[in-house]
Structure 1
Amino acid sequence: MFSQDKIFGYSLDEIFQITIQYGTRFLSAIALLIIGFWLSNMLSRTLRKVLTKRQVDAGLVSFLSSLVSALIKTLVIVTSITQLGVEMTSFVAILASAGLAVGMAFSGTLSNFAGGVMILLFKPFKAGDYILVMTQEGTVKEITIFNTILTTSDNKVVILPNGPVSNGTIVNFSRGTNRRVEWKIPLDDANDFHQVKTIVTSILENEDGVLKTPAFFIGLGDLSSSSYVAVIQAWTKNGNHSKLFYSLNEVIFNELTKAGIRFPVSSMEVKVVKND
């Protein structure tokens, strides 16, 4: 098998020439990958800056920049493979033969891509909106080509696939200009509801965060044998919902307590049966 002049049927000079040829191709392919990926990231960042400067929707900015990056990187990978000496016709034939398997494997990914396009076209939400989707609630941080990224109120990052998001139920809390705040306060039935209503009305009328139009509402809710529920509904500007709820919750409780309004106390009846 081995001889003084040849190894595996190739002379040392032939082996040297083959090594130089394929080594050069390999190094060229690696260099092309490095430069191509760097160029892809640079163009993606530049596009993001330009679109942001032009005040384009933040969701569209993240989608387009990630799409451009993915397309350029795919082109760079294909070009690098051809640089190694693989003919494009052969490469396309390989891709075509594996198309069905790849399509099945990436059906979810393609669905997520289509979902991202649908979100950007119909705009059920945009970056910065506070939404509830797929049981997850938070502020939309970014919309990429495959995922929607939320930040929850306790600063957790939730990554949701665009396919199920676009096909599911979406509650957008930021879409409307105003939001309604509601309190349901259980009270002892010995309290005079007219007095409760007078106290709460005074609180709402003197609160700057409560809108005068639409007007607030105070009414009776659930009734039981020993208690009733006072239902309070008021409107405020979107974004002030949580702040108004918790601040007035405390004010209403303090004012009702100060006026002698009693809250129902849970009780348990215990019967002792004596067996003779």
Structure 2
Amino acid sequence: MRHLCCALLILFSVLPTLGLGSEAAVSVADGIPAEPAELRIANRSIFTFHATLLGETPAARTQRATAVITEALRGSEVLNVSVEPVLNSHLVLLGGRRAFIVAPRDIGLEGGDTRAAAEQAATVLRQVVDETGEARNLHFLLKALGFSVIATLLYVALIKGANLARRKLRGPLLQLMRERAHQLRVGQMPLLDIHYVYMLIDRLLRLVYWLLVLLLSYQWVSYVLSQFPYTRPWGERLNVHLLDLLRYLLDGILNAIPGMAVAITIFFIARGISGFSRRLLERIARPGTLKWLTEETLQPTARLTSLAIWLFALVMAYPYLPGSGTDAFKGLSVLLGLMISLGASSVVGQAAAGLILTYSRTLKAGEYVRVGDNEGTVTEVGMFNTTIRTGLGEVLTLPNSLITGSVTRNYSRAVQGHGYVVDTVVTIGYDTPWRQVEAMLVEAARRTEGILDKPKPQVFQTGLSDFYPEYRLVAQAVPSEPRPRAELLSLLHANIQDVFNEYGVQIMSPHYLGDPAQAKWVPREKWYPAPAREADAPPGE
């Protein structure tokens, strides 16, 4: 009779939740959404209430269930946990008393089955009952304390063993590196600095050691907490977190394998196509095939082709790389795009100018050129800069954009065979016959060692000024190194002065101002005043 009255009381208490009670009760349950409340006993989460029953909010239901369960756990009798259905709800009973009710609204289902949620809550409650009994058992607590002490001693021993192993490895490692150092050489130069390699490996060993310490510490804390009933939920959560992390890493590795396989396949395909394109370009670069593809343009063409192939392969493989869809990769892409947009104007302009110089063949290494006020032998034509070495030993680095925007005079193109054009300008008065001036300039060129007899040096009258005509001597000289050309011009100018002095002709360069009382020339007997010596005379005199 007592059980029947209890069941009727419970039935009438849950009728409003089931929609069978008064309209006022239903409106209270449905009108105002309540905040969920978690039922937690002895650090274990048993159930989370969401519904309002008979005006009791989830917080009030949690408070009442906590009081009932705590009072029951204080007793010494054996407590059985069971689940009984009441219409479409379920009662969780503790020692024959109602602990709490699991209603459909608690699990977010209208009229749904609450059996599984109630059974799960009952399972956790049984575990709470068992752990409460263990917490009162002195023999169990002493046993747990003993296991904790053993685990602590084992933990300390493993830490010391790992530290000892790290120290033991440092000595043989250094000796092994010294023995193998002579094998890692390029010629007579060691490829690696043993000191820095040793520091790197020592830091790697230290990193592995601390990772091992952290892992052992994590496991030790988790094991010790799991030995005692009150802290066991914390230890279990630590194990769950570690297993979730390992599962996450393992799943990430397994999920990344197909993408990495595709990316590696694209890499090998791009490598094969790049090698094939280089060999194909080498065949096409043979004389008579393509006019624009020569020995000078083969190397940059091969590099550009390889760069285009690898960029295309990178774009194709990017979606298959691990983490390509993460925010980190997106942020890196934005950073690279910003850097390229900020520096692209000058870099791309210089690179385009380098390509123009390469494919237009304006100049090449070994040629003697004049770019603006800079004159010398081209030593290197790069993608962004061109290096010129002057006859005075200076090395000039000119931006390619400067070369493409200036007039370039190439003295090595208008010659027969190897060599370069050398020229100089003198101005002589109108009282000297032009035929005599031309003959004297040709004679000075003939006396200069390094100037070729064929083609024959030529003299051009490039201007008839108010007071003098202008004569330009043009000849071809070898070799094409910059220092001999400077020396050659010095010898040529010395021979021009000597020849004009021999024939008593005054050189009016750079400007004619008026006829002096005496002609400005040096007779032969005055060519070697002190400290000059006749042995210092130019060759051919």
Q: Secondary structure at the match of 1:106?
A: helix
- Structure 2 counterpart SS, 1:3: helix
- Measure how far apart 1:3 and its partner are: 2.9
Is 2:390 the partner of 1:164?
Answer: no
Cα distance in 1 for partners of 2:274, 2:529 equals 63
Evaluate the alpha carbon distance shift between residue 168 and residue 236 of structure 1 in structure 2; reply closer, same or farther with a 3 A threshold: closer
Q: Is the 8 A contact 1:179 1:237 kept in 2?
A: yes
Q: Which of the residues 279, 291, 302 maps onto 1:65?
A: 302
Distance 1:159 1:27, change over 3 A: farther
Q: Which residue of 2 aligns with 1:259?
A: 524
- Match of 1:234, SS state, is strand
Specify the alignment match of 1:82 in structure 2.
Answer: 319
Instruction: Give 1:251 deviation, angstroms.
Output: 4.5
**CA distance in 2: counterparts of 1:38 and 1:136, whole angstroms:** 42
Distance 2:373 2:269 in 1: 40
Which letter does structure 1 place at the counterpart of 2:351? F
Bigger radius of gyration among the two: 2
Residues in 2 aligned to 1:61 and 1:158: alpha-carbon distance in whole angstroms = 26
Give the TM-score taking structure 2 as reference length: 0.34
TM-aligned CA distance change 1:36 to 1:6, over 3 Å:
farther
Sequence identity, in percent? 17
Cα distance change of structure 1 residues 60 and 10 upon mapping to structure 2, 3 Å threshold: same
Correspondent of 1:209 among 446, 452, 460: 452
For the pair 1:236 / 2:475, whether they are aligned, the reply is yes
1:175-214 map, 5 Å: 175-177=413-415, 179=421, 181-182=423-424, 200=440, 203-204=443-444, 206-207=446-447, 209=452, 212=456, 214=458
Change beyond 3 A, Cα 1:232–1:160:
closer
Aligned: 1:109 with 2:376:
no
Distance in 1, matches of 2:441 and 2:333, equals 71
Change (3 A) 1:213 1:206: closer
> Which consecutive unaligned segments of at least 5 residues does structure 2 have?
1-233, 503-521, 531-541
1:17 to 2:257 alignment: no
- Consecutive unaligned residues of structure 1, counting only runs of 5 or more, are 186-192, 224-230, 266-276
Q: Normalized against structure 1, the TM-score is what?
A: 0.57
The 8 Å contact of residues 5 and 11 in structure 1, kept in 2 or not, is answered as no
Bigger RCO of structures 1 and 2 (CA < 8 A, at least 6 apart): 1
Moved more, 78-87 or 1-10: 1-10
Q: CA shift at 1:44, angstroms? A: 7.2
Secondary structure of 1:10's aligned partner: helix
Q: Tell me if structure 1 keeps the 8 A contact 2:262–2:320.
A: yes
Query: CA separation in 2, counterparts of 1:212 and 1:97?
Result: 63
Deviations 1:178-227 (A, max 9, x none): 84522669xxxxxxx89x9699468348557355563477xxx9x9xxxx
Cα 1:206–1:10, aligned 2, differ >3 Å: closer, same or farther? closer
**CA distance in structure 2 between the aligned counterparts of 1:95 and 1:11, rounded to whole angstroms:** 28
Give the distance between the partners of 2:354 and 2:442, measured in 1 at CA. 48
| Distance of aligned partners of 1:212 and 1:261 in 2 relative to their CA distance in 1, 3 Å threshold | farther
Change in Cα spacing, 1:40 to 1:197, as seen in structure 2 (3 Å) is same
Distance apart, 1:148 and its partner CA: 4.4
The structure carrying a bigger strand percent of its residues is: 1
Distance 2:490 2:439 in 1: 18
Distance 1:30 1:132 in 2: 49
- Kept after mapping to 2: 8 A contact 1:62/1:142: no
**Residues 9-158 of structure 1: matches in 2 within 5 Å?**
10=244, 12-22=246-256, 25=259, 42=275, 46=279, 49-50=282-283, 52-54=285-287, 56-85=293-322, 86=324, 102-120=340-358, 122-133=360-371, 136-141=374-379, 143-144=381-382, 146-153=383-390
Distance 1:215 1:60 in 2: 37
Cα distance change, pair 213–132 in 1 and its aligned pair in 2 (3 A): closer
Residue 173 of structure 1: CA displacement? 2.4
Q: 1:201 & 1:160 partners in 2: Cα distance?
A: 34
Code of the aligned partner of 2:344 = F
How far apart, CA to CA, are the structure 1 residues paired with 2:441 and 2:377? 33
Alpha-carbon distance in structure 2 between the residues aligned to 1:263 and 1:232: 28
Residues 376 and 390 of structure 2 are in contact (CA less than 8 Å); yes or no, is this contact kept in structure 1? yes
Say which SS state the counterpart of residue 70 (structure 1) adopts. helix
Aligned equivalents of 1:21, 1:64: Cα separation in 2: 39
Q: In structure 1, give the amino acid aligned to 2:287.
A: R
Partner AA of 2:299 in structure 1: S
